[in-house]
C-alpha cells in the first residue's frame, strides 16, 4: 500500500532524509569570518587615516611657539653667561698672574732690602769698631800726653820715651829729678831753645816741664 504525502499548501512538510553534507559546506563560516575581519581592518585603517589628517599639528600651536621661543632665549642667555664667565675667568687669571708677579717683585725687594740692611749693619759695626779703636787710641794718647807741670813717673805718667808734640820755644825748660827730692836731686835737664826735644823717663823719677807745650809718649 503506497502512502502519498500531500503537497498542498499549508499541508504537512514531508520528512527530509538526512544524508552526507555537500562538499565545502563546512568551510563557508570561516571564510565569512575572514572577510568580516578584513573589512573591519579596512574600516579602522580608514578611520585612523581620517583622524590623523584631521587632528591639529601641536608644533603649530601658540603654546608650542612660545615654549620654543622661551627655550631659544634661555639657550642664548646661557651662551652669553658662559661667554661672560670665560671672559671673567680670563681676567681673573690675568689678575692672579699680575698679583703673583707683584708678590715676586716685593719678595725680591724685601730680599734686596734685607741684604742692604745687613751690609749697613756690618758697615755700622765696622764704623763703631773704628770709632772705638780711634777713641781708644785717642784716650791712650791723652793718657800718655802731659803738659806743663811736675809728674811722678809710674804714678802720674807711664815710664817711656816722650817727645814734644810741636817745636818748642826758647823759653822751654825740662828736668828729670829723683822722686821725692823736690827738685834738689837733678838727674837731667835742658833748655833746648827750639826743635822737638825728647826725654826718657823711668819709674822713681819726677818729670818737670815748663813752657814746652805737650809731650806724647811714643
pLDDT of residue 35: 60
Of 90, 120, 143, which residue sits at a domain end?
143
Spans of the chain below 50 pLDDT: 1-11, 13, 17-18, 21-25, 50
Could you write out the three-class secondary structure of 200-218?
EECCCEEEEEECCCCEEEC
Domain shared by 61 and 138, yes or no: yes
Domain shared by 151 and 114, yes or no: no
CB 210 within 8 A of CB 167: no
Of 107, 128, 143, which residue sits at a domain end?
143
- The 10 Å Cβ neighbour count of residue 199 is 20
How many separate domains does the chain show?
2
pLDDT of residue 46: 57
Domain shared by 71 and 100, yes or no: yes
Residues with Cβ within 8 Å of residue 23, at least 6 apart in sequence: none
User: Domain residues for 204?
Assistant: 146-217
CB 188 within 8 A of CB 176: yes
Of 120, 143, 166, which residue sits at a domain end?
143
Cell of 63: 603654546
pLDDT of residue 130: 85
Domain shared by 200 and 139, yes or no: no
pLDDT tens digit sequence for 169-217? 999 999 999 998 998 999 999 999 999 999 999 999 999 999 999 999 9
The DSSP symbol for 157 reads: B
Record the pTM: 0.41
pLDDT of residue 24: 46
Domain shared by 138 and 213, yes or no: no
- Cell 500531500 found at: 6
pLDDT of residue 3: 45
Amino acid at each position: 500500500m503506497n502512502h502519498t504525502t500531500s503537497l498542498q499548501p499549508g499541508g504537512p512538510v514531508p520528512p527530509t532524509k538526512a544524508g552526507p553534507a555537500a562538499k565545502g559546506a563546512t568551510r563557508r563560516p570561516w571564510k565569512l569570518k575572514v572577510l568580516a575581519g578584513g573589512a573591519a581592518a579596512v574600516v579602522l585603517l580608514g578611520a585612523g587615516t581620517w583622524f590623523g589628517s584631521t587632528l591639529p599639528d601641536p608644533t603649530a600651536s601658540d603654546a608650542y611657539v612660545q615654549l620654543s621661543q622661551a627655550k631659544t632665549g634661555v639657550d642664548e642667555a646661557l651662551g652669553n653667561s658662559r661667554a661672560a664667565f670665560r671672559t671673567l675667568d680670563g681676567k681673573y687669571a690675568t689678575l692672579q698672574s699680575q698679583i703673583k708677579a707683584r708678590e715676586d717683585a716685593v719678595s725680591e725687594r724685601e730680599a734686596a732690602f734685607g741684604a742692604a740692611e745687613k751690609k749697613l749693619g756690618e758697615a755700622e759695626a765696622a764704623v763703631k769698631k773704628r770709632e772705638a779703636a780711634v777713641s781708644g787710641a785717642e784716650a791712650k794718647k791723652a793718657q800718655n800726653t802731659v803738659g806743663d807741670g811736675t809728674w811722678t813717673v809710674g804714678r802720674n805718667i807711664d815710664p817711656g820715651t816722650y817727645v814734644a808734640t810741636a817745636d818748642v820755644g826758647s823759653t822751654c825748660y825740662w828736668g828729670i829729678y829723683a822722686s821725692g827730692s823736690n827738685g834738689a836731686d837733678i838727674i837731667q835737664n835742658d833748655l833746648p831753645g827750639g826743635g822737638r826735644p825728647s826725654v826718657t823717663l823711668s819709674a822713681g823719677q819726677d818729670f818737670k816741664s815748663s813752657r814746652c807745650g805737650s809731650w806724647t809718649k811714643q
